Amino acid sequence: MKRQEAPVQAVSIQPSQYWDGIDGPWSSFPLQLGSGSVGGQQVVRVMPSTAGNAIWAIAPQGCPSSYGSGCASSRGGLFLTNESLTWTPNSIYQTGIEANLDQEASGFAGFDHASLGWSGSPTVSNSHAIIFDIADSNYWLGVFGLNPTPTNFTTFSDPQTSFMTYLLDTHAIPSLTYGYTAGNQYRGEAGVFGSLTLGGYDANRFFHNEVTFDFFADISRDLLVNLQTITATETSPTNLLPGGPIAIYIDSTVPEIWLPPTACAAFEAAFNITWNTTLNHYPITADQRQHLLNLNPKVTFTMSPDVYGGARNVSIELPYAAFDLQLSFPIVDTATYYFPLMQAANETQYTLGRTFLQEAYIVVDYQRQNFSLGQCRWAQEMVQTPNIVTISPPSSASASASALSGGGFEPHLSTAFIVGVAVGGAAVLAAVALGVFLMVQRKRRKAEQQRLAAEKSAAVERTSPHRPLISWPMGGELGGTGVHEIAQPLRPAQAEMDGPYKTDPRQHGYSELGGHGYYKAYYQVQEMDGTTPIYEMPSEVGR
């Protein structure tokens, strides 16, 4: 008789018990990296990232001598790849997220063993985890990516499995789901640490509701909500979203809340805060802080899965203490309180960061393609007694998982996040569009075809074979921002639907992988595999 296996249960990851960060403080989680070193695995502290799909650790270069002897501890510990016998280096890449906020980081990418959680407590492990060793001070602590989309380094045909998908494939978790809240230091006697559950959620940490948000079609902005209103008590004005509803992305990677200029102006008037162009923050004086703490205004964010709102909505209330955060070195020389608000340059920057998740609990289901939000509960008996609920996979879980393994999301691509691009879907759509285009164009008059062919022939003759030109516009493949696969801020020419001109395969410059800043000298950028056929428009087709 075959022995029946016990069902896989959700895993609750214990927090590090540390308050970390130079813009918080924030509740971090322990991560054990590498193996074979003298001291065993290297332990670092990281922040969960709802946007990221990989691990970021802090490289030794992230602690120059000018940062002092306490830098390594302040940054949650460093990952010394040369001390791990199992480290497999790849190259230097951009991390693929936060480009829309102009905060994308680069790092040494590679693979190594990683375990989330303290040794001796519930942990989940991956023997071939994707790790970026970064030095960027914009991200003072490393991150653990909760998004299960794969990473494409140099080719779309070899996607690298994310940590979450690896856990599902190895039956370490029951489903591609998680529940998370950032915790905060102002509740209870010593604060309440964050809560992270993989494959389920902690039912005691939030008030339940029946509102479910479907994923947004763009995989780089899947956790998008329709923010209907922001209201405040004890302030004037009380309407802090005067421009009306906006679509806003939930992203725990960054601490701030990014809003339109009109909303920022309303916050400035309501809280008497002023933007400091040197700090690029809203600093709070000691007198201001004490006044606001005594006043204790409450700010309520009301969100809906429906564009125009209605009966289906969720409200998350933040006390002023949620905005009472502190900047420290190296942002400032002396600890300074600040208000975590940022003015968005455009709608792609509208973001509800970690500040929001101090009072909100999010449950995300990647197989059902939806998520939910709830107001956190703070009763001591609830916080101290977890009630872990396992989320079972849907009946079509195998199909959902296989789509993720190959980057099979719908190709609504954002240039801010190319990791896990759905190339297959894009190719099908392009083929259909091309077929329709050709069918229509062939109906054009023969004289027009001949004229265009003659012009094209003349253009080819004027072009030197040693000076390859790229078809205009030169913005590149996806969206024209020059961000491809592992995204890059540089804008070298991209070869696509060539007209009369040809690219010279002997020349560089038609790049996919970006290079900039700290690691620029290491880049050797290339296109897709040169053996792949390139299909151009037939020369006899008129336009």
Q: What is the pLDDT of residues 343-377, one digit of tens each?
A: 999 999 999 999 999 999 999 999 999 999 999 99
* CA 461 and chain centroid, separation: 47
The answer on 238 and 158 residing in a single domain is: no
Per the prediction, the chain carries an average pLDDT of: 80
Residue 228 resides in a domain: yes
37 in a structural domain = yes
Residue-level pLDDT at 161: 95
For the residues 302-318, what does the mean pLDDT come to? Answer: 94
Residue 454 has pLDDT above 70, yes or no: no
Identify the pLDDT of residue 4: 62
Of 348, 360, 385, nearest to 479 by C-alpha is 348
389 and 458 in a common domain: no
What span, in angstroms and rounded, lies between the C-alpha atoms of 422 and 418?
A: 9
Confidence class for position 6, pLDDT limits 50, 70, 90: confident
Are residues 84 and 39 part of one domain? yes
The reply to whether 413 falls in a domain is no
Q: Per-residue pLDDT for 301 more than 70?
A: yes
Q: How far is CA 95 from CA 143, 211, 486, in A?
A: 11, 33, 7
Stronger pLDDT, 227 or 515, i.e. the higher one: 227
445, 393: one domain:
no
What is the predicted pLDDT for the residue at 487? 40
Across 167-176, 388-397, 433-442, least confident range: 433-442
Give domain status of residue 443, yes or no.
yes
Q: What is the pLDDT of residue 37?
A: 58
For 243-263, write each residue's pLDDT tens digit.
Answer: 999 999 999 999 999 999 999
Instruction: Report the first-to-last Cα separation within the chain, whole angstroms.
Output: 70
Q: How many CB atoms lie within 10 A of CB 102?
A: 10
How do residues 144-189 score in pLDDT, each as one tens digit? Answer: 999 999 998 876 667 899 999 999 999 999 999 999 999 999 998 8
Percent of the chain with pLDDT over 70: 71
- Cis (ω within 30 of 0) for the bond into 15? no
Same domain for 238 and 362, yes or no, is yes
Per-residue pLDDT, 498: 41
The CATH number for 388's domain is: 2.40.70.10
The answer, yes or no, to whether residue 50 has pLDDT greater than 80, is yes
Number of domains in the chain: 3
Categorise residue 366: left if φ over 0, alpha if ψ from -120 to 50, beta otherwise: alpha
Instruction: Please say which residue of 127, 143, 172 terminates a domain.
Output: 172
**Cβ atoms of residues 112 and 131 within 8 Å:** yes
Instruction: Look at residue 244 in the predicted model and tell me its pLDDT.
Output: 97
**Helix, strand, or coil here: 408?**
coil
Whether 429 has a pLDDT exceeding 60, the answer reads no
In a domain, 303, yes or no: yes
- Say yes or no to pLDDT of 3 above 70: no
Model pTM? 0.74
Residue 412 lies in a domain: no
| pLDDT band, very low/low/confident/very high, at 219 (cuts 50, 70, 90) | confident
User: How many CB atoms within 10 Å of residue 289?
Assistant: 17
**Shared-domain flag, residues 197 and 286:** yes
Same domain, 363 and 475: no
pLDDT-based confidence at residue 120 (cuts at 50, 70, 90): confident
Distance CA 242, CA 238 (A): 10
List b or e across 29-67, with b for residues whose CB sees 16 or more CB atoms inside 10 angstroms: bbbbbbbebeeebbbbbbbbbbbbbbbbbbbeebbeeee
CA 503 to chain CA centroid, nearest Å: 34
188, 77: one domain = no
Please tell me whether residues 141 and 217 are part of one structural domain: no
Per-residue pLDDT, 471: 27
Write down which residue in 141, 172, 203 finishes a domain: 172
Task: Please indicate whether residue 530 or residue 344 has the higher confidence score (pLDDT).
Answer: 344
User: What is the residue range of 50's domain?
Assistant: 23-172
In a domain, 310, yes or no: yes
Q: Which of 119, 147, 172 corresponds to the end of one domain?
A: 172
In this structure, are 237 and 220 located in the same domain? Answer: yes
456-500 residue pLDDT tens:
333 333 333 333 322 223 233 333 333 334 443 333 334 444 443
Interval 519-526 mean pLDDT: 36
227 and 343 fall within a common domain? yes
> Which of 117-121, 170-174, 269-273 is predicted least confidently?
117-121
Let me know if residue 532 belongs to a domain.
Answer: no
Q: Are residues 515 and 480 in the same domain?
A: yes
Give 38's pLDDT tier (boundaries 50, 70, 90): low
